[in-house]
Structure 1
Amino acid sequence: MGLDEPPQHQQVADDLRRRLTTSEWEVGDRLPSRAQLAQHYGVGTNVLQKAVERLIIEGLLEGRAGSGTYVAQPRERRRMIRSRHREQRGTSPFRTDMAELGRTGTWEANSTARAPAPDRIAHRLGIEPGDLCVRTDYEFLTDGQPAQLSVSWEPMAITGETPIVLPEMGPLAGQGVVQRMRSIGITVSHAVEVPRPARATQEQANLLGVSVGALVLIIERTYYDSDGRAVETADITVADTRWEVAYEVSIDTPQA
């Protein structure tokens, strides 16, 4: 194998994916045994196993204990709408977004206080690199399945001496940045979102249930108060195979 060639398991996965997309096997069909596929591709069973596992993670195949590997029912690609109205509902924007889709939105979170701001985060927050923040890592779930990830940063200079210093603890736990900031006298007036395509890292792939290198959308979101001060910034990661992100733009109509 040449230095520029992808690993064997990736080559096998790519060809199996091609065969699936050309309907060589239909949804519900059982694939040949892994030993037969390994022989067909001239690779070891461990290489074939890695290739199949990759396609299972992508949702193209499913393994059934004691039965074999089958073509999976295609996963639904849902639309996630980003709108200014999602911040005016008095509850978690994510939970309400999912409820509108007839789904249950939940999340798991882990906060770290006194986390030094990296350079890029400090730049977005308008603070000095190394200034202390609260970092919160989120895993958002839809009906118990991974939907998106988020890493949020809030300057401790703003929330450090208040009851809302930890986003998922205290009187407004889970209420979202707008509601929490309002409780300490800060009016969040607007947010700026910068969407950037990227490829899933190993950690992101594990958490989202996609393959390493799968296309994801990273949304750099920053909330600002009425004085133009950044009060929170986050990197939101969405799997492209599961979600289509759409932006709703309000248009002011002239008064008669």
Structure 2
Amino acid sequence: MADGSSERSAPYLRVAAALRGRIADGTLTPGDRLPSRGELGREFGVGENVIRRAQELLIDEGALEGRAGSGTYVRAPIERRTLLRTPRGQGGRSPAPAGFTGTWESDSTAKVAAPPAIAARLALEPGALCVRTVYEFLADRQPALLATSWEPMAITGGTVVVLPEGGPLAGHGVVARMAHLGVTVARVVEKPRPVHVDREQAQMLGIAAGAQATLIERTHYDASGRPVETADILIPADRWDIAYDITLPVADI
């Protein structure tokens, strides 16, 4: 079994330390493209696989970023933002999570069979038909967070609001669209939990596969307690702080 000293002296770690030092002292600056793996391999006297492992380590640390078909670049420092979750922000016109400012792109598909976990959250039978909408939220024209929303077609099917981003109430949000159908959305429940992003999610967000994120399971309920929409909101942990603003009742003294 290799001891700690041999692990610390592994060639890829030494290469990573050297590249990390060049970034720290300004030899490599944000936006700089690294030499090819072959060039770096010759410089450090190692194989390209060693260079690849060193680059992957620095990508995981957030120091580098890979761009498909272009190469590996020094990553600009990430500006952390705060996503404020507050009851006052729920149910607005925008489909974006409360506290997010930016733009979004969406893709809706009708008559999608609800997976078991989604069906359970919507109190449906597994396979019940839903409208699935995938959102990509952008800040400064860069991917910021992802969301996938599910709505039962038993509620919206055959109406002008069946597609969240189509029809006369496009982009108005869950509360307004349900109100158009005579459904009063009374509350929303959020369940946050830590996750690691998969490769597809990482590519969409421009982060490393396996990077940490917060997944918020958000579900809207009508006045009778029936779930009318549920969504998975994926928030990269290295970009966002999540703050909850909870109003308390005035103390009766």
TM bin (shorter chain): 0.7 to 0.9
Q: Which residue of 1 aligns with 2:227?
A: 230
Does 2:218 match 1:215? no
Number of residue-to-residue matches in the alignment: 237
User: What is the SS of the residue equivalent to 2:219?
Assistant: strand
- How far the C-alpha of 1:180 sits from its partner, in A, is 1.2
User: What is the SS of the residue equivalent to 1:190?
Assistant: strand
User: What is the SS of the residue equivalent to 2:202?
Assistant: helix
Normalised by the length of structure 2, the TM-score is 0.80
Q: Which residue of 2 aligns with 1:85?
A: 88
Match of residue 64, structure 2, among 20, 44, 61: 61
CA distance in structure 1 between the aligned counterparts of 2:127 and 2:184, rounded to whole angstroms: 26
Structure 1 pair 28–251 and aligned structure 2 pair: CA distance change class (3 A): same
User: What is the SS of the residue equivalent to 1:97?
Assistant: coil
- How far the C-alpha of 1:94 sits from its partner, in A, is 2.8
Does 2:160 match 1:147? no
User: What is the SS of the residue equivalent to 2:188?
Assistant: strand
Instruction: Give the alignment of 1:1-256 within 5 angstroms.
Output: 12=12, 16=16, 20=20, 25-26=23-24, 28-30=26-28, 33=35, 34-35=37-38, 37-39=40-42, 43-45=46-48, 48-49=51-52, 51-52=54-55, 55=58, 59-61=62-64, 71-87=74-90, 90-92=92-94, 94=96, 97-99=99-101, 105-254=102-251
Contact 1:29–1:70 at 8 Å: present in 2 too? no
Runs of 4+ in 1 over 6 A off after TM superposition: none
State the one-letter code of the partner of 1:30: L
CA distance in structure 2 between the aligned counterparts of 1:69 and 1:197, rounded to whole angstroms: 28
State the one-letter code of the partner of 2:163: L
Normalised by the length of structure 1, the TM-score is 0.79
Q: Which residue of 2 aligns with 1:8?
A: none
Structure 1 pair 251–206 and aligned structure 2 pair: CA distance change class (3 A): same
State the one-letter code of the partner of 1:236: I
Q: Provide structure 1 residue ranges, at least 5 long, that are not aligned to the other structure.
A: 3-10, 100-104
Moved more, 47-56 or 223-232: 47-56
User: What is the SS of the residue equivalent to 1:121?
Assistant: helix
Structure 1 pair 210–122 and aligned structure 2 pair: CA distance change class (3 A): same
Moved more, 216-225 or 23-32: 23-32
| TM-superposition CA deviations, 1:143-163 (whole Å, max 9, x none) | 211111111110000000211
Q: Provide structure 2 residue ranges, at least 5 long, that are not aligned to the other structure.
A: 3-10
User: What is the SS of the residue equivalent to 2:154?
Assistant: helix
- How far the C-alpha of 1:178 sits from its partner, in A, is 1.2
